[in-house]
């Protein structure tokens, strides 16, 4: 028996586990202080009523012999896939039902999709970036090269024709920086991928926060993207499904190798995955109804208001940042040339506030810090009052 030695190359603990330990230790020694968390990107608003209504209906169906559901299709029920298909049509993107795969979340699919790719593939990942991209490839032992995202390029790195990559990770709106690629920039990435016979793994988990119609919400809005891109999306932030778990991945038939990748992913899922529960999929389908869209937009506007509060406070203090406008994340430059863990400790021990050190997202994040807009309006305002009073 031999273990996978690639795990030795991972950091000892996951970023958010380290943060949780620090915060829990602080709470134990400071029980009188109210800690406000603007760190982990978990939502605070409950599921909207339209989703709950459909979920209750599904629960009742499971209690009735005539409507009970056992094992469902591993790739998702057609009623949900049809709703997703119609959602993409509103973006002027045409999909086939069998190009849509329902899952328990984008994070799972982003890791599991690597089962399809050889270990010898070279992976291009932006720095800073969502740690899952890096860690899952380290687990498999792939060579990783980094696209330099920094203040100068507004944290939107562009392709370098002198570098070859086989797998390319893009996230827009980006986690952690909140930066959003425009149409022209994505066109260049699609061209690069097609020129290099590469595959783009496009994380669109936060597309629902984009309010500017000129900015792409799907990479398939770009001509040629279906030949080179796989898109991952989630209901976690769109509809508050962080505790319910549902997402979907688009694997176009037009991808390289004569539809082989779509067939491989179907084979992988039918072998290793039993599908998302009927109850959850019925709840997810309610997100796409006219009333469901109305209600989730109200929730999204709630979080956007929090982002606006954070950005206005940073503007008053003259602190540089990206994100916030089309993203739930605000990526700020640590004041007084502090590194991100120093700033984390200051925020926690002086202000009883929790954010995420940028260093946890990569080398380029060592002097940056991520705040999220997912707390309540009241607590977000209180948090920003503490920040303003301390730094003014």
Last residue of a domain, one of 225, 256, 290: 290
Q: Would the pLDDT of 11 be above 90? A: no
Residues 286 and 380 in one domain: no
Query: Which among 273, 290, 307 is the end of a domain?
Result: 290
Q: Which pLDDT does position 258 carry in this prediction?
A: 74
* Residue 181 and residue 310 share a domain: no
pLDDT at 13 over 70: no
Cα–Cα distances in Å, from 46 out to 35, 131, 283, 291? 21, 27, 13, 16
Give the pLDDT mean for 237-251.
97
- Name the domain count of the chain: 2
Q: Report the pLDDT averaged over residues 229-250.
A: 97
Task: Note down the domain range covering 123.
Answer: 49-290
Q: pLDDT averaged over the chain?
A: 96
Q: Where are the alpha helices (DSSP H) in 90-229?
A: 106-112, 131-140, 183-195
Statement to judge: residues 179 and 326 lie in one domain:
no
State whether 225 and 354 are in the same domain. Answer: no
Q: Give the number of other Cβ atoms within 10 Å of residue 32's Cβ.
A: 5
pLDDT at 257 over 80: no
Task: Give percent of the chain above pLDDT 70.
Answer: 99
pLDDT over 80 (residue 40): no
pLDDT band at 15 (very low <50, low <70, confident <90, very high): confident
Contact 231, 219 (CB under 8 A): yes
Q: 179 pLDDT exceeds 80? A: yes
Mean pLDDT, residues 280-304 taken together:
98
- With 0-12 / 13-18 / 19 or more C-beta atoms within 10 angstroms meaning exposed / middle / buried, residue 70 is exposed
Average pLDDT over residues 369-380: 97
Sign of CA dihedral 276, 278, 279, 280: positive
Task: Kindly list the strands in the beta sheet with 329-333, ordered across the sheet, starting from the edge strand earlier in the chain.
Answer: 321-323, 329-333, 368-372, 356-357
Region 124-139: mean pLDDT is: 96
pLDDT > 90 in the chain, percent: 95
Quote the CA–CA distance of 172 and 205 in Å, as a whole number. 8
Neighbour-count burial for 353-389, b at 16+ CB within 10 Å, e otherwise = bbbbbbbbbbebbbbbbbbbbbbeeebbbebbebbee
pLDDT digits (tens, 9 = 90+) for 293-315: 999 999 999 999 999 999 999 99
CB 171 within 8 A of CB 126: yes
What's the average model confidence in pLDDT over 342-353? 97
Place 37 in a pLDDT band, splitting at 50, 70 and 90. very high
Residue 344 has pLDDT above 90, yes or no: yes
- The Cα 246–Cα 239 span in angstroms is 10
State the pLDDT confidence band at 256, using cuts at 50, 70 and 90: confident
Q: Are residues 17 and 98 in the same domain?
A: no
**pLDDT band, residue 255 (cuts 50/70/90):** very high
* DSSP 8-state assignment for residue 221: G
- What's the burial of 341, exposed, middle or buried (CB within 10 Å: 0-12/13-18/19+)? middle
> Do the Cβ atoms of 15 and 21 come closer than 8 Å?
no
162 and 185 belong to one structural domain: yes
**In this predicted structure, what is the pLDDT of residue 76?**
98
Would you place residue 87 in the very low, low, confident or very high pLDDT band (cuts 50, 70, 90)?
very high
In a 3-state reduction of DSSP, which class is residue 100? strand
The 10 Å Cβ neighbour count of residue 25 is 11
Together in a domain, 205 and 260? yes
- Judge if 274 and 301 occupy the same domain: no
């Amino acid at each position: 028996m031999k273990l996978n030695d690639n795990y030795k190359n991972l950091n000892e603990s996951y970023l958010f586990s380290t943060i949780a330990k620090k915060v829990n230790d602080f709470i134990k020694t400071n029980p009188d202080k109210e800690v406000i968390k603007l760190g982990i990107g978990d939502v605070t608003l409950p599921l909207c009523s339209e989703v709950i209504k459909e979920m209750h209906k599904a629960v009742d169906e499971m209690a009735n012999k005539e409507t009970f559901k056992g094992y469902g299709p591993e790739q998702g029920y057609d009623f949900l896939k049809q709703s997703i298909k119609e959602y993409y049509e509103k973006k002027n993107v045409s999909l086939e039902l069998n190009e849509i795969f329902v899952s328990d979340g984008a994070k799972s699919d982003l890791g599991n999709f690597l089962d399809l790719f050889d270990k010898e593939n070279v992976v291009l990942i932006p720095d800073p970036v969502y740690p899952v991209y890096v860690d899952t490839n380290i687990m498999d032992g792939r060579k990783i090269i980094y696209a330099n995202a920094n203040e100068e390029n507004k944290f939107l790195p562009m392709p370098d024709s002198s570098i070859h990559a086989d797998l390319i990770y893009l996230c827009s709106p980006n986690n952690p920086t909140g930066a959003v690629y425009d149409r022209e920039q994505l066109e260049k990435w699609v061209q690069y991928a097609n020129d290099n016979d590469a595959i783009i793994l496009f994380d669109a988990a936060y597309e629902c926060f984009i309010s500017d119609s000129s900015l792409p919400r799907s990479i398939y809005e770009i001509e040629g993207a279906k030949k080179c891109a796989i898109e991952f999306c989630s209901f976690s932030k769109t509809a508050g499904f962080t505790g319910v778990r549902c997402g979907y991945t688009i694997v176009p038939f037009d991808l390289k190798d004569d539809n082989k990748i779509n067939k491989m992913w179907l084979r992988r899922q039918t072998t290793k995955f039993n599908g998302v529960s009927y109850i959850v999929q019925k709840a997810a389908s309610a997100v796409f109804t006219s009333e469901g869209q109305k209600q989730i937009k109200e929730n999204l506007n709630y979080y956007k208001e929090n982002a606006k509060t954070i950005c206005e406070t940073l503007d008053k203090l003259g602190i540089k940042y990206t994100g916030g406008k089309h993203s739930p994340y605000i990526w700020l430059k640590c004041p007084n040339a502090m590194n991100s863990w120093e700033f984390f400790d200051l925020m926690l021990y002086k202000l009883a506030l929790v954010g995420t050190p940028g260093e946890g997202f990569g080398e380029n994040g060592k002097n940056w810090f991520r705040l999220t807009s997912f707390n309540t309006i009241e607590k977000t305002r209180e948090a920003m009052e503490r920040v303003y009073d301390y730094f003014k």
